[in-house]
Structure 1
Amino acid sequence: MSKRGVVLLLGTTQTLAWASSYYIPAILAGAMARDLGIESSTVFIAFSCAMLLTAFLGPRVGRAIDQYGGRVVLILSNLVFILGLAMLALAQGPAMLFAAWLVLGLAMAMGLYDAGFATLAGLYGKEARSAITGITLIAGFASTVGWPLSGIMLAEFGWRGACWGWALIHLALAMPLNLLLPRGEARAPLVAAPAAPPTATAVRETRRTAILLAFIFAAGGFSAAALGAHLPALLVAAGATPAAAIAAGALMGPAQVAARVLEFTVLRRAHPLLSAKLAQVAHPVGAAILLLFGAPFAAVFVLLHGAGNGINTIVRGTLPLALFGAAGYGARQGLIVAPARFLGALAPALFGFVVAGFGAQALWFTATLSLAAFVALFTLRVAPESPGVQR
């Protein structure tokens, strides 16, 4: 199968995986809470527990992909998604609700972006960058597909019917598509030149680079999750009307997709480090414009923040691949992104306290985090590449 075919298949299954897990609470949480006699916040706490579980399981899933290949893990993820969604549909109280979300947390660890990135790294080695960008371009429309589809199923069949509907989509569509993925025959050959065991200095440098990447991705992950939960409220606090805040917030998705197109075209021949720097600086620049010039620039802030977030998603897969190579990518990636997943799960609640205390000025906090990550990128040591490759 061609690389383009793999990208199309994996991009589609990634879209369905995100739409049936990460994006369902926004549509179904209210109905779930009313039916189960609990607060909506309880549903989101269960969802946060699922996200925390993905951080814990990430390295283990990565090692499984390194050992058995991504196709096997992704197919198993569909089965776990089906089980979790079925448990959610059958839930009669908080205990079953939390159990269902923990199963979905396992499915998300096995089936979302990092698993997809590791699958592509195993198939194409360092040539996986364009494929990683490709699946994020397609799956960037997960909310565009997922929210309306969840809403239609909610209106027609109730929230339980919507969960059964997503389970059926995994069984009838996502799993058969993952079954079509290559078994690994397309794995890019690794150069097997004999080499001396790494020196203590090399080991320290590798550890230092991994720690820096973990911090950089954690900073970006916190800001993305925090703004994802509080963006409209922050824009209103900055002086925008509720209608203007919603209109500006609607630019988030197009900004992410446009930035990913930019990465796929203009930046594709540059080192991923350049993309990472542009992604990290976009949020603080946008925040400074909004805080200094006020609500008329809300759309500018959203466009810059969305663009940075869109490229950050790609960089999280491509920069470790460029720095460390494809060997052991899955396990290493799981470790590097674990802090980002952990903070991403906690960010909506933690940042809520900051917003409650400081209003729109809370953006200085996320801007400072992003600037620290931007500075950290300049301390990464990158091996020289062939002439004409920019950094």
Structure 2
Amino acid sequence: MSPADDAASAPPTPGPRVVTTALGITQILGFGSTYYLPAVLAKPIAADTGWPLSLVVGAFSFGLLVSGLVSPHVGRTIDRFGGRPVLAASSCLIAAGQATLGLAGALPVYVLGWLILGAGMGAGLYDAAFATLGRLYGEAARRAIIGVTLWGGLASTVCWPLSAYLVETLGWRGACLVYAAIQLTVSLPIHWLLVPRRVPVVEHARDTQADEVRIDRWRRRALVLLGGGLVIGSVITSVIAVHLLTLLQARGLDLATAVALGALVGPAQVASRMVEMTVGIRLHPLWTMTASVVLMTLGLLLLAVIPQAGIALVLYGAGNGVYSIARGTVPLALFGRRGYGALIGRLAMPALLAAALSPSLGAYLIEIGGPGALLGVLVAASALNVVLVLALRVTAKRIAPVEVSP
């Protein structure tokens, strides 16, 4: 067969909509079986095994640390080989980690399971998905990135009830083994069959390192400001995810009311991402990042000063929703697709490490100063993030437009 005949007989490459949907589904399953797992399984595991709850949950933090450490390597690998093999490997790692958890008879084996899951999270959750889309579609990846975050926002909605049902019917070990099977029978085939095999040739792999060396003064400054903003954003979101109910109850709310108000965050995240998809897509991604940090700051400030926390949580949730988008689209808009995977990995590592450590630091701050002290620190950190993003906007104007190959 001639090369033309061979190309004509090859299966069609999945289009952006198919790829976005595929990655959206695997993000739901990936987040649901890793990041959102301890919320449902931690207490049953501690009750069944007798292991301290602090260590059962703390193992998850070890997993996040591993996720941050592997992120730069994941990004460089995606730049070189494309996202398909990396995402497929992530499904295998998550399955192996889940199987290790389900079969763990001792606490060290349980911790090992979370270390494996951490590697799977680093290779398969948002940052890896964003790097894959940026590698495939360049600056046109923005709509796909927004679409993936819309799907990902449903992870807790889908998997918390599923996890609770599995624990009730099969026990926590059975739940882990079912999630391992889902990764191998659903996520792995999706990654292997629906993420395009072809890697667009934009530059040689060595150009990624060369670009990092040749970043000029203004681009370096922009990179520092962006990295600092992402770290602060990760600290805030991870602390709120763990300590929100404590902060609400410190405002005089009972547990049931606090839980009901906390449930407003999820719908607000999804709603803000839909607005970004329909309206914000026409604006530069820096507008998205600006909106995210301003909304989060207003939400936290209102949470600190008013008794009724509903509007505060809606504002915070809306800001957090588009923050997830901005962390993928702003680096692509400012620095282009060349070396995008490596850049995403570099930015993700300190943010993920901070996310792993900050809930424990938040708990310590509550112990020594009370919930009010923690909330005050969060408001100050969020206000600082507004300053960093405004400085980033000024710096971005000094960056020469990045030429992107078609």
Q: TM-score range by the shorter chain?
A: over 0.9
User: Which one of the candidate residues 280, 298, 301 is aligned to 1:285?
Assistant: 298
Task: Tell me how far apart the structure 1 counterparts of residues 324 and 366 of structure 2 sit (CA, whole Å).
Answer: 25
Is the contact between residue 10 and residue 116 of structure 1 (CA under 8 Å) also seen in structure 2?
yes
TM-score normalised over the length of structure 1: 0.92
Residue 367 (structure 1) aligned with residue 395 (structure 2): no
Conservation of the 8 A alpha-carbon contact between 1:122 and 1:188? no
**Structure 1 counterpart of 2:321:** 310
Q: Which residue of 2 aligns with 1:171?
A: 184
Which deviates the most, 64-73 or 374-383? 374-383
Relative to structure 1, is the Cα distance of residues 112 and 276 closer, same or farther in structure 2, using a 3 angstrom cutoff? same
Partners of 1:201 and 1:208 lie apart in 2 by 13
Change (3 A) 1:301 1:188: farther
| Cα root mean square deviation, aligned | 2.2
Deviates more, 1:282-291 or 1:260-269: 282-291
> 1:189, CA displacement in angstroms?
5.6
Moved over 6 A (4+): 197-201
Mean Cα displacement is larger for which, 351-360 or 216-225? 351-360
Instruction: String of CA shifts for 1:127-174, please: whole Å, max 9, x gaps.
Output: 100100000001100011111111111111111100110011111111
Matched, 1:345 2:359: no
Q: Does 1:39 align with 2:52?
A: yes
Residue 194 of structure 2 aligns to a residue whose secondary structure is coil
| Alpha-carbon offset, residue 56 of structure 1 | 0.8
Spell out the pairing of 1:24-103 with structure 2 (5 A cutoff). Answer: 24-103=37-116
**1:199 CA drift (Å):** 12
CA contact (8 A) 2:211 2:339 kept: no
The CA deviation string for residues 278-315 of structure 1, in whole angstroms up to 9 with x for no partner, is: 10111221222232222x2x111111111111111110
Structure 1: any 5+ residue segments left out of the alignment?
191-196, 387-391
Pairwise mapping of residues 1-391 of structure 1 onto structure 2 (< 5 A)?
1-185=14-198, 187=200, 202-294=215-307, 296=308, 298-356=309-367, 357-380=369-392, 381-383=395-397
SS of 1:379 mapped into structure 2: helix
Distance 1:40 1:120 in 2: 38
C-alpha contact 1:14 1:112 (8 A) present in aligned 2: yes
| 1:110 CA displacement | 0.5
Farther-moved stretch of structure 1 (179-188 vs 237-246): 179-188
Deviation at 1:369, TM superposition (A): 1.0
What TM-score does the superposition give when structure 2 sets the normalisation length?
0.89
- Work out the CA distance in 1 between the residues paired with 2:178 and 2:34: 12
- Checking the alignment, whether the CA contact within 8 Å between 1:276 and 1:312 is kept in structure 2 is yes
Shift of residue 248 of structure 1?
Answer: 0.6
Aligned partner of 1:317: which letter? G
C-alpha distance in structure 1 between counterparts of 2:219 and 2:77, whole Å: 22
Residue deviations 1:66-121, cap 9 Å, x none?
Answer: 11110110011111111111111110111101111101111111010000000000
Between the aligned residues of both structures, percent identity stands at: 40
Distance 2:328 2:211 in 1: 24
What number of residue pairs does the alignment pair up?
380
Evaluate the alpha carbon distance shift between residue 189 and residue 68 of structure 1 in structure 2; reply closer, same or farther with a 3 A threshold.
Answer: closer
In 1, Cα distance between equivalents of 2:75 and 2:212: 26
Pair 1:284–1:182, CA change in 2 (3 A): closer
TM-superposition CA deviations, 1:165-219 (whole Å, max 9, x none) = 00111111111111122435474867xxxxxx98999533222221111110011
2:20 and 2:144 in contact (8 A); partners too: yes
